[in-house]
Structure 1
Amino acid sequence: MSRQQLQWMHKELESLRERQQFRSITDSEPQPDGWVIRSGQRMLNLASNQYLGMDWAWAAPGLETASAGMGAGASRLVTGNHPLCTRLEQEFARFKGTESCLLLSSGYMANIGVIPALVGRSDCIFSDRLNHASIMDGIVLSRAECRRYPHRDLDRLEAQLKKTSAGARKLIVTDSIFSMDGSIAPLRELVELKDRYGAMLMVDEAHSGGLYSEEGQGLIHSLGLTDRVEIQMGTFSKAYGAYGAYIAGDALLKEYLTNKVRSLIFTTALPPAVISAVYRSWQSVKGHHLRRAELQRKAALFRQRLQEAGFDTGESECHIVPLVLGSNEKALKVSEKLQQEGIAAVAIRPPTVPEGKARIRFSLMATHSDEDLQWAIERIIRIGREEG
């Protein structure tokens, strides 16, 4: 096979290496109690998004999700909509306190499909600068005017809203919890602003679903804002330990999105086995009050210890705790040394985070023992100081 037409890729990859932004894939095999095997080495997993450890909590022997079917065979709008999908949507909507729920393949597919369905060329989107890449990609696909406001800067957002023409549709989009910083969006204030200026509000609850409110309904629910947020997006791949995503809101919203979201219409539906796994995991998560409390307790202690040692943990307020180091080189060195010590913690570099803000992103799990976390903290502090 001729590869002449691909030679330009060498220069692109070399440029990434020179900027210390080259990435590769490493095998990872999850283990119980917050551990992982990476490249044959057993490590404490401080890089997973399965915050409640649900991949092990519900996947017990005898749970035969495969019996539901391994392939949907078609789009949901053709013959791929298994009754399990409809059941999950109906029951999850009641759980969220909304009229309806629409199941999609992933959080990324939800954001790149839903945002272009809501706004177009003559409309305007207002996006927090630290929103997830999938939100930004959805904005690009929409072709709407995008006004990015500094992180959680409500004054700047209001100034931008004031300047928008009256005829344009306005959509404010934000993460509820920002995945690389652990900071929390000012949802109450955002609701007030969107009402004042006639905008829609879309909130991505990928990193708060399963973790807040009585049964894990999410941050929006815990703040009593369910009826005031038009578009609620969330995933089943993080705290729920499974796969897939949803949009929760009014019945009118679901009917509209079913007819407009290209990433729903033109893709094969989730396998019934996956939907079955999501359902079982969700049922389990609802009762894990202790795990939710333990996660926040452990995260607060972890963050406090790093701060007391003089490290920059940014604006973290939750189970995601960044160790901001600055340069790509320093972040890579710290990550490598941590892995040598038996700690899985990945260097996060631009473009995922802003230039000069490279970091180690620590994500806590409820199943981490206090002893394991203490063991890790001692090594993180020592290595951080050695490379500081």
Structure 2
Amino acid sequence: MAFEYIDNVLEGAKEQHLLRQRVVVDDICARTLAVDGRRYLNFASNDYLALGDRPLPPLKGRSGGHSSPLVTGYSREQAELEQRFCALYGFESALLFASGFSANASVLKALFAQAREGLIVQDKLNHASLVDGGLAANAQMQRFNHNNMAHLDARLGKSKAHHKLVVSEGVFSMDGDCAPLEQLRSQCEKHRAWLMLDDAHGFGVLGEGKGSAAVLKPDILVLTFGKALAANGAIVLASNKVIDLLLQSNRDYTYSTALSALQCEVIDTRLTQLLAADAERQHLSALIDYFKSQCAAAHLALMPSDTPIQPLIVGDSESALVMQNQLRDKGIWLSAIRPPTVAHNTARLRITLTAAHTEEDIDTLVSALEQCR
């Protein structure tokens, strides 16, 4: 029988407590969500500034993308939105994508499509989209130990490749810690390498909203709109020549229907709200400090993080699932993150805080974590 292995794969995942299943969410906001008629405190949202809870003004844009951007899909709204991001971050040019995954993976493939002697060196904890793009690229890919500049230096120093690209996240999605941006830049300058930064989880939260790029400007910057911006899509910012190259060889961009004018209008509106959300960022920062102090008092060992992503390592996948379900019984919704998303024996509860939460919500969460420990 063809594809008989599927049953074995699914049964194996179930036995190892790694089977993934979807949950239908009836209603959601940054602070709470409802599933099967019950409302929970939501500590699994990436809507860090709670912008998704704000109503949008009346929108006038068209809902369809019509075609790919290289046919008739490149609207005035897209061009103006790209120009706004370029002005904000000091880049020459940009491309809008339907998703961050597509942007990350396709840029790496397209950048090296016609290169010889190429090397991609990625942080070991980079997002799957970056890893997939690197594996599919016409270049050698190596990994360096997480935020380990000595290991990165050794990787770059031993390579004879002419075209070298260092790739990192600004804020790492599963650990919540930040990349050492100045040190990354120093290594790139030392070894004549370019730096590509995926700032999905730093954008909107850090640097008065500009994210990690407020500290330094990489050669290629990817921002996604599905987290703090509370929208959909992504943008790649780079020099004119890099964007022109991507227009020639980026198959994801060439053969995908363009973002609609309506989506661009939503993104533009949310960007204005994000840049003005100083009070939300201050409240969120205070909540992070409060949560960390309460966990320390309760002897809950969080991973080192000053961002809204606050992981609590559990260890094995079964225990992580048990704690997840116990917390749901207590009205707390968060996710057990298991391999292969994270390394073996580092299954964790990934706790995310938002500006919609209160100190009382934090107290409820910490008390529940103590009881489930």
Query: Quick check: TM above 0.5?
Result: yes
Distance of 1:89 and 1:318 partners within structure 2: 27
**How do residues 106-185 of structure 1 correspond to structure 2 at under 5 angstroms?**
106-119=99-112, 122-165=117-160, 167-185=161-179
Residue 370 of structure 1 and its aligned partner are, at CA, apart by: 1.7
Distance of 2:331 and 2:47 partners within structure 1: 19
Distance of 1:298 and 1:322 partners within structure 2: 15
Letter in 2 for 1:377: V
Residue 121 of structure 1 and its aligned partner are, at CA, apart by: 6.4
Distance of 2:253 and 2:197 partners within structure 1: 19
Q: Name the counterpart of 2:319.
A: 330
Letter in 1 for 2:13: L
Q: Name the counterpart of 2:198.
A: 204
Residue 301 of structure 1 and its aligned partner are, at CA, apart by: 1.6
Greater shift, 44-53 or 96-105, is seen at 96-105
**How do residues 341-360 of structure 1 correspond to structure 2 at under 5 angstroms?**
341-360=330-349
Residue 30 of structure 1 and its aligned partner are, at CA, apart by: 4.3
Aligned length: 371
Q: Name the counterpart of 2:239.
A: 250
Distance of 1:39 and 1:266 partners within structure 2: 39
Distance of 2:38 and 2:145 partners within structure 1: 41
Q: Name the counterpart of 1:378.
A: 367
Give yes or no for contact 1:299–1:320 (8 Å, CA) kept in 2.
no
Distance of 1:307 and 1:118 partners within structure 2: 45
Matched, 1:69 2:62: yes
Q: Which of residues 3, 6, 11 is equivalent to 2:8?
A: 11
Distance of 1:266 and 1:232 partners within structure 2: 22
Distance of 1:187 and 1:279 partners within structure 2: 27
Q: Name the counterpart of 1:191.
A: 185
Q: Name the counterpart of 1:217.
A: 210
Q: Which of residues 95, 101, 110 is equivalent to 2:88?
A: 95
After the TM superposition, which segments of 4 or more aligned residues of structure 1 sit over 6 Å from their partners?
A: none
When normalised by structure 1's length, the TM-score is 0.92
Distance of 2:348 and 2:116 partners within structure 1: 36
Q: Name the counterpart of 1:292.
A: 281
Give yes or no for contact 2:205–2:211 (8 Å, CA) kept in 1.
yes
Distance of 2:328 and 2:143 partners within structure 1: 36
When normalised by structure 2's length, the TM-score is 0.96
Distance of 1:349 and 1:33 partners within structure 2: 23
Identify unmatched segments of 5+ residues in structure 1. Answer: none
Letter in 2 for 1:178: F
Q: Which of residues 26, 31, 34 is equivalent to 2:31?
A: 34
Letter in 2 for 1:258: L
Letter in 2 for 1:306: C
Residue 300 of structure 1 and its aligned partner are, at CA, apart by: 2.0
Q: Name the counterpart of 1:85.
A: 78
Distance of 1:264 and 1:122 partners within structure 2: 25
Letter in 2 for 1:149: F
Distance of 1:325 and 1:68 partners within structure 2: 47
Distance of 2:185 and 2:141 partners within structure 1: 19
> Counterpart of 1:112 in 2: which secondary structure?
helix
Give yes or no for contact 1:300–1:318 (8 Å, CA) kept in 2.
no
Distance of 2:308 and 2:26 partners within structure 1: 22
Distance of 2:167 and 2:296 partners within structure 1: 31
> Counterpart of 1:156 in 2: which secondary structure?
helix
Identify unmatched segments of 5+ residues in structure 2. Answer: none
Q: Percent identity among equivalent residues?
A: 32
Q: Deviations over 1:322-345 (max 9, x none)?
A: 010001011000000111111110
